[in-house]
């Protein structure tokens, strides 16, 4: 889990994925036939073979904020990068790549906290005035949310398990896989702002099969919306989300791989949200696409929570899919 912690604590808001790509490269460079980065910032790892061309993806970016305005008192206004809930953001710390850290607060004139909007929030970096703030940050600077990495028993809590958990699954699988298939592992950019890296990389590779590895919601907390997914019951084989209806044949193949290798799994129907699979399946003339999802509570908060055994079984499932699909 030390490498997963390193991944979660790296700086990688959408469009600024350089740091995490460098970390991944150092981890897997000795296990690949080729590693390269494309124009949009996707890190593409290939393990060559003569069989089917299979593409796995896991997005490297995280939600964050971008500075849009600095007022005379040195407080910062900002725009979200990706889907940022104003309630989740309130009183959270954010950190810029320079190390400058601030706290998000809100205008106290706001009539009701339940009506709070992003426009009512600001960042306090401790500056005394605009001049001092401008020495610390600039318009267009991006920041990530701060969230420590904590393990309690079989559960891990941290910021950005969406989708560092998926990145971890692919990096660990790359080290283990021995297959005759032609394998591409794409660590995609800018998923949180429109599945952008998946669009360009899938177009270039045009695989026979594509599989996104990401997180998904759960239905196992008190009074939550109904969903047949729980922490600890295995990785999920996606059936559908808002962005994709997974290829029926590929879903059946993945289920068979899991069953034949005694890997526990759950079936996922996600009513809200999507993954790289949404872009992959409609590339060129269409690609047979599926997805493996890691059950995660409190997605897009600073304390996302996964079960370590689900992550380990996802690694095993990816390893077996690469060889047996």
User: CA neighbours within 13 Å on the CB side: how many for 201?
Assistant: 34
> How many residues appear in the chain?
325
DSSP at 230 = -
Nearest to 312 by CA among 164, 187, 165: 165
C-alpha angle 18-90-132 in degrees, rounded to nearest 5:
65
Rounded Cα distance between 62 and 72, Å, is: 30
| 266-280 per-residue burial string, b: 16 or more CB within 10 A, e: under 16 | bebebeebbbbbbbb
Contact residues for 37 (Cβ-Cβ < 8 A; gap 6+): 21, 43, 44
Residues serving a catalytic function are 191
C-alpha angle 207-208-209 in degrees, rounded to nearest 5:
90
Sign for the pseudo-dihedral over CA of 38, 244, 51, 257: positive
Rounded Cα distance between 211 and 54, Å, is: 8
Rounded Cα distance between 287 and 284, Å, is: 8
Any bridge partners for residue 35, and if so which? 45
């Amino acid at each position: 889990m030390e490498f997963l912690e390193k991944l979660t604590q790296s700086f990688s808001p959408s469009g600024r994925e350089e740091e995490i790509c460098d970390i991944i490269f150092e981890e897997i460079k000795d296990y690949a036939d080729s590693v390269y980065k494309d124009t949009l910032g996707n890190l593409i790892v290939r393990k060559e073979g003569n069989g089917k061309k299979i593409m796995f993806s896991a997005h490297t970016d995280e939600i964050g904020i971008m500075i849009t305005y600095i007022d005379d008192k040195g407080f910062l206004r900002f725009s979200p990068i990706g889907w940022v809930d104003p309630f989740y953001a309130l009183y959270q710390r954010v950190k810029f790549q320079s190390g400058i850290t601030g706290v998000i607060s809100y205008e106290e004139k706001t009539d009701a906290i339940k009506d709070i909007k992003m426009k009512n929030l600001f960042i306090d970096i401790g500056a005394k005035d605009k001049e001092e703030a401008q020495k610390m940050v600039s318009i267009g600077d991006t920041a990530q949310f701060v969230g420590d990495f904590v393990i309690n028993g079989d559960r891990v809590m941290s910021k950005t398990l969406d989708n560092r958990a998926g990145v971890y699954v692919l990096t660990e699988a790359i080290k283990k896989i021995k297959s005759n298939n032609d394998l591409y592992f794409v660590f995609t950019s800018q998923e949180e702002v429109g599945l952008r890296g998946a669009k360009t990389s899938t177009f270039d590779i045009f695989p026979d099969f594509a599989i996104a590895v990401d997180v998904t919601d759960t239905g196992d907390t008190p009074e939550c919306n109904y969903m047949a997914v729980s922490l600890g019951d295995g990785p999920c084989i996606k059936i559908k989300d808002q962005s994709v209806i997974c290829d029926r044949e590929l879903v059946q193949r993945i289920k068979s791989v899991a069953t034949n290798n005694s890997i526990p799994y759950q079936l996922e129907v996600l009513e809200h949200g999507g993954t790289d699979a949404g872009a992959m399946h409609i590339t060129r003339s269409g690609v047979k696409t599926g997805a493996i999802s890691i059950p995660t509570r409190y997605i897009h908060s600073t304390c996302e929570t996964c079960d370590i055994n689900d992550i380990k079984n996802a690694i095993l499932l990816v390893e077996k899919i690469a060889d047996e699909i």
